[in-house]
């Protein structure tokens, strides 16, 4: 039960079914990686030996322009596409998962018993996920630059409806993870929205663990975190809400009517109640 409450991670990490696969990249060329965090609970804090790489897409597709970075955090269910250049003097680059603290349970996870089982902080040593071997190319390839613009993304207009969703854990026929104080009930409609409207949802994490919040069918834009505007304008369907954080997202309900769900994308938290039913009406 303790492991369920934390979200089970397992002991072995694979990339396309392999442990530390070897990837070839010629000097002067580019490598495009399309990455899915398919783990049920593990967060991936990605680094390329502290070498720069370029984010070109998120869950909802291409972003407006390449973003240079040295770290990329992917929570369960999140996707990203990155570009890696072969213009490097090293013979190989390692794709590394750096430690990340996603919290603990209650007082035992955040206080005097922080070193116990319920206070496990996911501070495992850095782990090598894949190795990129840089080969000397026999061809006289001309250096290719990334385009300055990848996509055109327009910010969503002001919302017609504003809602709040509080994420926490508590009691509901035993320990459970809750949204607005309720554990999931498949017969209950938790939120009703109208087609062809834009809504703003404030996601408030009052618990002691980070929660990746996912909405089925409908992509959204992240507006702010703790009232600080989000720098990257992008389409997403999963957003990390850290413990103690308030995240505002803006959603456009355009294409589909009917019933779907929103939930924490840590599988054990979803199964223990952190999910709600969404009804989209005409």
pLDDT at residue number 257? 97
Query: Which residues, other chains included, contact 57 with Cβ-Cβ below 8 Å and sequence gap of 6+?
Result: 34, 63, 79, 80, 81, 150
Find tokens 């809400």 and name the residue.
Answer: 241
Instruction: Name which of 175, 38, 179, 202 is nearest 109 in CA terms.
Output: 175
H/E segment holding residue 3: helix 2-6
Could you tell me which CATH number the domain at 2-135 has?
2.60.40.420
Sign of CA dihedral 167, 46, 156, 184: negative
Instruction: Give the model's pLDDT for residue 60.
Output: 93
Place of tokens 């496990």: 120
Mean pLDDT by 10 residues, the chain (282 residues): 89 96 92 97 95 96 97 98 89 95 66 39 78 80 83 97 96 89 97 98 97 97 98 97 98 96 97 98 97
pLDDT of residue 262: 98
In order, the DSSP letters of 73-124 are EE-TT-EEEEEEES--SSSEEEEEEE----B-SHHHHHSTTTTSGGG----P
CB neighbour burial string for 112-128, b if at least 16 within 10 angstroms, e if fewer: eeeeeebbbbbeeeeee
Give the 3-state secondary structure of residue 247.
strand
CA-nearest of 154, 156, 151 to 66 is: 151
User: What pTM value is reported for the model?
Assistant: 0.91
Residue 106 three-state SS: helix
The confidence score (pLDDT) of residue 106 equals 54
- CA gap 96, 127 in Å, rounded: 6
Residue 119 pLDDT = 44
Give the 3-state DSSP-derived string for 157-172, with helices as H, strands as E and coil as C: CCCCEEEEEEEEEEEC
- What backbone torsions phi and psi does residue 172 show, to the nearest 5 degrees? -155, 90
Q: Which residues in the chain are classed under CATH 2.60.40.420?
A: 2-135, 161-281
Which two tokens mark 123? 């501070």
Check residue 115 and give its pLDDT: 39
pLDDT of residue 175: 85
Given the structure tokens 């909802």, which residue do they identify? 60
**From CA 164, how far away is CA 227, in angstroms rounded?**
14
CATH architecture of 161-281: Sandwich (2.60)
């Amino acid at each position: 039960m303790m492991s369920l409450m934390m979200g089970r991670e397992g002991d072995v990490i694979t990339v396309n079914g392999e442990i530390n696969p070897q990837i070839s990249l010629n000097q002067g060329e580019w490598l495009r990686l399309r990455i899915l965090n398919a783990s049920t609970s593990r967060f991936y804090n990605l680094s390329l030996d502290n070498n720069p790489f370029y984010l070109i897409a998120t869950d909802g597709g291409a972003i407006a322009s390449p973003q240079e970075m040295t770290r990329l955090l992917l929570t369960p269910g999140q996707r990203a596409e990155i570009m890696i250049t072969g213009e490097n003097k090293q013979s190989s680059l390692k794709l590394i998962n750096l430690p990340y603290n996603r919290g603990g349970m209650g007082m035992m996870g955040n206080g005097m018993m922080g070193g116990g089982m319920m206070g496990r902080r996911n501070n495992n040593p850095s782990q090598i996920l894949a190795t990129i071997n840089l080969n000397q190319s026999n061809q006289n390839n001309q250096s290719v630059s990334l385009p300055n613009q990848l996509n055109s993304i327009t910010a969503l207009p002001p919302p017609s409806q504003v809602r709040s969703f509080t994420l926490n854990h508590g009691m509901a026929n035993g320990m459970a993870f809750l949204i607005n104080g309720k554990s999931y009930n498949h017969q209950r409609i938790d939120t009703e929205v109208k087609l062809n409207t834009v809504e703003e949802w404030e996601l408030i994490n009052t618990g002691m663990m980070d929660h990746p919040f996912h909405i089925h069918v409908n992509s959204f834009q992240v507006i702010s975190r703790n009232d600080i505007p989000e720098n990257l304008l992008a389409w997403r369907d999963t957003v990390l809400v850290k413990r103690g954080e308030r995240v505002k997202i803006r959603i456009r309900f355009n294409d589909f009517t009917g019933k779907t769900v929103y939930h924490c994308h840590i599988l054990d938290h979803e199964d223990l109640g952190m999910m709600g039913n969404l009804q989209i009406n005409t």
